[in-house]
Amino acid sequence: MTADAAAAEDDHAVITGIGVVSPSGLGAERHWEATLTGRVAIGPITRFDPSGYPARLSGEVPGFVPRDHLPGRLLPQTDRLTQLALTAAEWAITDAGLSPSPEESLRYGVVLANSAGGFEFGENELRKLWSTGPKKVSAYQSYAWFYAVNTGQISIRHGLRGPCGVLVSGQAGGLDAIGQACRVLRKGADGVLTGGFEAPVCSWGVAAMSAGRDAPTAPQLSSGDDPATAYRPFAAGASGHVIAEGGAILVLERGRHARARGARHRYGRVAGYAATMDPPPGSGRPATLRNAAALALADAGLAPERIDVVFADAAGSTMRDRAEAEALTGLFGAGGVPVTAPKAMTGRMSAGGAAVDVATCLLAMRDGMIPPTADVRPDPSYGLDLVTGRPRPARIDHALILARGEGGFNSALVLAACPREAPSAAGPLDERAPRALPGNDPRS
């Protein structure tokens, strides 16, 4: 690595640990393997009887048994949402090789995104309230439902006593949390656990996410029954998206701190970030997703032609897909950059979705492979170079990730590959060489 490259990396947030819990699998490597093979992880809802609900499909995390990953005392205190997030946080910290001392823990924080807290926990306690009375309601209801609960539980479990926070901006939240984590690092923290999680697959969650979906600009929830066709972003006749549970936790550290402590690997660095807000419906003013992307590129100091791949928001409805396609073709030109949306295989995880896209992008950089958008047949009128069917080999030095939340939130994040280290006496440290990440073995 040159001195200039090292200095540039030292001034940015670098990602040193990844933890993923997704419908595609437990652990980053299982998720990555399923993503590369194009395995669709969407299926019929099994966590409750969806008869009578407008949505009957979801992306559910397979084979997750909380007691295999968490101490028994935590189980009655936590919703499935927090159990998933705690597991991913453990894997991310292990992957990063973090073990801060009590003094160092004051400089490590937690900044996450979530939209609605513990849906299922709250639903169960409300059922107790109306069926048996208030004395049967768990004392843990006071916080298990709360959207900030993941931040608190992870901070407590790992003794991370630095700056903490939570972002609530729907699907855009995973990127917004990373943007906020970068601000925390610039203010002096050494590291931040960041990302997002969601677990809405329960009767209350599906009912809540189905409400108001008829508004023209709202994300459309698919009512299809075929997992292979229910969520097909950028396809002709796309009929909406499928909800999903899961997310990702990333360890962000200041580049110079990661180097000083001898971080085992650096998957990439956050080069740029921006967020915008769409004008109110009916205002006659255009959406601002393109502005968010352009601002993120400016923040990274990059021209559009430097971007090697875009991970799209991919709402899965004609109006929103077209708006995103117009933003991309306006910035890059028709077919000007490869575009992918692996979430077509898992469903949209709301606050967890963009965080998973970031994790997937980092693994794509590592292995030089753009993952596919399952078997979507893109509508050619969108003018996108959509990667479908199978992975596309490519050197990825810079990537743009887009996300939109309900209500007009737009966020964009630019990732840059970290330069490879020169070989040392201890052997090479190659950020692009495959490695086994925590989480492949349920015992990890």
Average pLDDT of the segment spanning 411-435: 59
**Residue 394 confidence class, pLDDT cut points 50, 70, 90:** very high
Q: Give the span between the Cα atoms of 296 and 280, in whole angstroms.
A: 23
Contact between residue 17 and residue 263 where contact means Cβ atoms under 8 Å apart: no
CA atoms within 13 A on the CB side of 202: 17
Alpha-carbon 396 to chain mean position: 19
More confident residue, 231 or 281: 231
pLDDT in tens, 174-227: 999 999 999 999 999 999 999 999 999 989 888 888 776 555 556 788 888 899
pLDDT at 369: 97
pLDDT in tens, 248-279: 999 999 999 999 999 998 999 999 999 999 99
pLDDT at 433: 37
Q: Give the span between the Cα atoms of 111 and 150, in whole angstroms.
A: 9
pLDDT in tens, 317-333: 999 999 999 999 999 99
Average pLDDT of the segment spanning 425-435: 35
pLDDT at 383: 97
pLDDT at 427: 34
Q: Give the span between the Cα atoms of 152 and 147, in whole angstroms.
A: 10
% pLDDT > 70, the chain:
91
User: What does DSSP assign to residue 382?
Assistant: G
pLDDT at 223: 85
pLDDT at 214: 55
Across the chain, what does the average pLDDT equal? Answer: 90
Q: How buried is 421 (Cβ within 10 angstroms: 0-12 exposed, 13-18 middle, 19+ buried)?
A: middle
Query: For residue 441, is pLDDT > 70?
Result: no
Question: What are the φ and ψ backbone dihedral angles of 241, each rounded to 5 degrees?
Answer: -115, 170
pLDDT in tens, 50-76: 988 888 999 999 999 999 999 999 999
Query: For residue 11, is pLDDT > 90?
Result: no
pLDDT at 148: 93
Q: Give the span between the Cα atoms of 414 and 358, in whole angstroms.
A: 10
Average pLDDT of the segment spanning 292-315: 98
Beta carbons within 10 angstroms of residue 247's beta carbon:
34
Return the H-helix or E-strand segment holding 367.
Answer: helix 353-367
Place of tokens 């791949």: 309
**Residue 5 confidence class, pLDDT cut points 50, 70, 90:** low
Return the H-helix or E-strand segment holding 58.
Answer: strand 57-59
Query: For residue 143, is pLDDT > 60?
Result: yes
Q: Lowest-pLDDT range, 7-11, 238-242, 359-363, 378-382?
A: 7-11
Average pLDDT of the segment spanning 348-357: 96
Average pLDDT of the segment spanning 127-133: 89
User: What does DSSP assign to residue 279?
Assistant: P
| Total H helices, total E strands in the chain | 12, 16
CA end-to-end distance (rounded Å), the chain: 32
pLDDT in tens, 73-94: 999 999 999 999 999 999 999 9
